[in-house]
Amino acid sequence: MRRIKQLSVISNLQIVFWVSFAFLSTYSFSQTAPFGSSVIRAAILVLLNAILFYSCYLYLVPQLFEKKRYVQFYLLLFLLITVITALRVYLKNNVFDFMQVSKINISANLQVAIIVLSELTIALISSLMKVAKDKYEYERKYQATQNQFLKSELNYLKSQISPHFLLNALNNIYSFAVTNSPQTPGAVLKLSEILKYFLYESNGAKIPVKREMEIIQSYIGLFALKFQDAPDISFDECIKNSDKEIEPLLLMSLVENAFKHSGVGVQENSFIHITIKENDEQLIFSCVNSNMQVNEKIGQYGGIGLQNISKRLLLNYPGKHSLDVVKDDNTFSVKLTIPFL
């Protein structure tokens, strides 16, 4: 539909151009000839100029000029203008004399110069319109290709979240099932809710903040189920209008990254402290967690990582986000600021 609308605009511009050209030509000729003769002269002039215009528009520019065949382009344009100029001079001097046209006293050379100048103007207008149209089409196709690439890239980056999460969640539920834990149904329910979000709700370009926070809470709850003593995990949020929207799974990715590095449930004195708030139409996410020293083998199962998150931010919030990461021997902190979509 958008493509049809764009073509309609181009066609309408050309119609306006030719109608205006015909009107002005008729008016100009009517100053020295009867109205009927002026209409005929204007119609012939429009026809000849249309031949020149669309020869440039449909063939000379796209087939020669844009393919850098400049010699052929200028030779054919010169030949076309020469033929049309000769035809116009012949008609003016040999045909229109019988149509009660008053003669204007100008030299033959000046007459030819005026005609050639007008033909060059028509050729220039046609060439500029064609070049502009082709440039617009190229940019439109390039943008469409870029959008498709970005969409594929985002889908790929999002898809990297689920495998790591599923592995951990299923391992937890398996441990509940083996011990016949009464927590098994609750764990399955939380996992079902998270999977629903991953599979069906996060495929769009944006999601309400409250939905992302609900999934984070379910994720934390699912993780905490397997511990008798509640781990040191806090989640504080202060969003006045939680219907505001953000890129889906972005905060969830940072939470998963925190669980990867914190050592919660594995190492003593480990912790995860998450805060989400808003300020001037921006969401501010901060997470401080303990920094567990892991061996290389364990590190291979570390979720999507900050590199993935950084890519997604560049794709979704180019020049509009801030991501600060501070890491030392004991703590790992992340602060993300993004505008609401």
9-31 burial, b at 16+ Cβ within 10 Å, e below that, comes to eeeeebeeeeeebbeebbeebbe
pLDDT at 337 over 90: yes
- 50-61: per-residue pLDDT in tens? 999 999 999 999
Please give the mean pLDDT across all residues of the chain: 81
Model confidence at 304: pLDDT above 60: no
pLDDT above 50: residue 296: no
Which position has the higher pLDDT, 163 or 20? 20
Q: Where are the alpha helices (DSSP H) in 181-280?
A: 184-196, 209-224, 250-262
Q: Which residues contact 14 (CB under 8 A, 6 or more apart)?
A: 129
- CA–centroid distance for 255 within its chain: 28
Query: In the CATH scheme, what is the homologous superfamily, with its name and number, of domain 160-339?
Result: Histidine kinase-like ATPase, C-terminal domain (3.30.565.10)
What's the average model confidence in pLDDT over 164-172?
71
Domain ranges of the chain: 2-150, 160-339
How far is the C-alpha of 29 from the C-alpha of 44, rounded, in Å?
12
Most confident of 35-44, 71-80, 195-204, 288-297: 71-80
pTM of the model as a whole? 0.57
CA-CA distance, 242 to 235, in Å (whole number)? 15
